[in-house]
Amino acid sequence: MLINLSNHPSNQWSGKQFKAATKKFKSVYDLPFPHISPKANSKQVELKAKKYYEKILSLFKSSKDKSNAVHLMGEMTFVFQLTQVLKKKNIKVIASTTDRIVEEKNGKKIVTFNFVRFREY
């Protein structure tokens, strides 16, 4: 099982990204990324990361897949805290990598991200 903990639900991923995820992890479970207040202090972020670690453990306990990981993308201090906790417990954490394509049209920038691969933290 791949737990997708990001602001991008898997039903909005490109076909290439979803295929890469299900080929390696069989199933994808979307766990919505939490709101991290810019006013939160480090301790509050750490506590939220620990809460999400518990949620992730619970989901993996119900997984029948042999290969499990967390796709973790979002607010950087939360991602850092949660990645540290997960890796200490030997849980694989991955990020999606993309090509960033920027076009200018009528004075506005249009940015497109094309999935390339998953990479482990």
pLDDT digits (tens, 9 = 90+) for 2-54: 999 999 999 999 999 999 999 999 999 999 999 999 999 999 999 999 999 99
pLDDT digits (tens, 9 = 90+) for 58-112: 999 988 888 899 999 999 999 999 999 999 999 999 999 999 999 999 999 999 8
The answer to whether 94 touches 69, Cβ cutoff 8 Å, is: yes
User: In 68-94, which positions are buried (b, 16+ CB within 10 angstroms) versus exposed (e)?
Assistant: bbbbbeebeebbebbbebbeeeebbbb
